[in-house]
Amino acid sequence: MTPQPASPRPENILRNFVDGRFVEPDGKLFRDIDPATGRTVAQVHEADLPLVGRAVTSARRALAQGWSDTPVRERAALLRRAADRIEERFEEFVVAEVADTGKPITQARDLDVARAITNFRTFADVIAAAGQESFMTELGDGRRALNYAVRKPVGVVAVIVPWNLPLLLLTWKVAPALACGNAVVVKPSEETPATATLLAQVLAEVGLPRGVYNVVHGFGAGSAGEFLTTHPGIDAVTFTGSSATGSHVMRTVADRVRPVSFELGGKNAAVVFDDIDLDEALTGLTRSVFANTGQVCLCTERVYVQRTIFDDIAAGLVERAAQLKLGSPADESTTTGPLISQAHRRKVRHYFEVAEQAGAEVLTGGGIPELGGDLSGGSWIEPTLWTGLTNTDRPVREEIFGPAAALIPFDTEDEAVALANDTDYGLAAAVWTNDLRRGHRVAQQMRVGISWVNTWFTRELRSPFGGAGLSGIGREGGESSLHFYSEPTNVCVQL
């Protein structure tokens, strides 16, 4: 298993990246499938236990050889070079992201790759401007002590990212981890391995020392994910994905008392009051329900609408759903791609069946579209809206992670708040109202990590982001990320 310097995708094989080199495969390969067509776009080398161990060892070696002591200005400069290099290879990243996810090319360009560039630049700025508290303590008898903190990297961080926004969420974690002087071992989703591999090439090109960024491909249990999270050389784990997997990872690292940062599932609510601008609210709701085919942890799956405008909102959303265009990701007019896999489509369809069994009225969708041609083998599903469900029904309580939402009426503000907060999750909420005081009042009552008013998916990357309940632990973004990826040592000097 001798590592060779080479490109990440020779003959359509995606390889592991360890100690600054791509490793020639000598073990199991698995398929990387295009969700839009069902065709295999690459073979992927699955990392075994020894190779994951080598990746962790290389990361620890990089720290010992001085990466963690690299001056902040040099780390920030490297992050900026990485952003510049992704920008230079922009279309390569777009093509890789579209092939892995099936999402429309316009979204990959405007959101996924663009945001990856912004992530590196943002955390270069954050780390360059970050400071630490200091205190002068009066000890009596004229004596004083100066207390100040020194920021140190956590060490080797396991970075486990999902398939829905693979490059965006990868760089959201890797950029602050590197900014703080850590080394990382990345385990991308088995569904979307390409851009993490391509990023390895970019980081090597801009001068990141060997071993600081490693990529191991594979699955969860009995594969690279389990091998990585159980490795004693891992100092922290950052994970975005399902709540069930997050709970398992937490149990895995508990005995070694390793810090974790989890951004997990969501069952997000939108609350729509009758004083809104109808067109503005419909535009926002259409995005929040159907963006990325509903495969965003922040998407809205519960829409609570004041009864006086319930019929108008329902009719308007049905009309907007009919205007969505499912089609080839390469077509710039396509608005909606497939689900990530056939397995995930089976899960989403199961919830369609459960909803109908619970007495839901299907306003639109509920089935599988016939697209034909090259797209006939893809994991397509119809955008779907229901009425007739309540907060006691499974499709309203459990995360579906597809383009589906339940519309439920309410009468009073207090009722709306109670309905929105009646969930085990706590990631995001959106409040739609033209009453400024009500907007502030209701948004602050939402038990979530981020509460929008008259918008959705608007992000300030320096602000804290995360969830409550089953939606996660910890906060990322700006200095919140620095708090996770570094540890302060207080130095106390008697003067």
- 448's CB contacts (< 8 A; 6+ apart) are 268, 426, 427, 428, 429, 467, 468, 471
Q: Rounded to the nearest 5°, which phi and psi values hold at 457?
A: 70, 10
Query: Please, where are the H alpha helices in 103-181?
Result: 105-107, 114-129, 166-179
- Catalytic: 263? yes
> In the chain, helix, strand, coil percent, each to 5?
40, 25, 35
Q: Are 79 and 206 in contact (CB under 8 A)?
A: no
Nearest residue to 484 (alpha-carbon basis) of 469, 474, 494: 474
Q: Are 465 and 475 in contact (CB under 8 A)?
A: yes
Q: What is the chain's Cα-based Rg?
A: 24
Strand (E) positions, 180-272?
Answer: 183-187, 213-215, 236-240, 260-263, 268-272
Q: Which of 46, 97, 226, 297 is catalytic?
A: 297
Q: Are 61 and 213 in contact (CB under 8 A)?
A: no
Within a 10 A sphere around the Cβ of 344, how many other Cβ atoms?
Answer: 20
Number of H helices, E strands in the chain: 16, 24
Question: Rounded CA gap, 284 and 439, in Å?
Answer: 15
Q: Are 370 and 408 in contact (CB under 8 A)?
A: no
Q: Rounded to the nearest 5°, which phi and psi values hold at 381?
A: -150, 155
- Catalytic: 297? yes
Structure tokens belonging to residue 41 = 């776009």
Q: Which of 263, 382, 399, 476 is catalytic?
A: 263
Q: Are 62 and 212 in contact (CB under 8 A)?
A: yes
- 312's CB contacts (< 8 A; 6+ apart) are 278
Pairing relationship of beta strands 472-473 and 260-263 according to DSSP bridges: antiparallel
Q: State which amino acid sits at residue 141.
A: D
Q: Are 404 and 348 in contact (CB under 8 A)?
A: yes
Q: Are 456 and 120 in contact (CB under 8 A)?
A: no
Nearest residue to 195 (alpha-carbon basis) of 215, 210, 219, 220: 215
3-class DSSP assignment, residue 34: coil
Facing residues of 185 across strands?
158, 214
Q: State which amino acid sits at residue 54.
A: R
Residues with catalytic roles:
263, 297
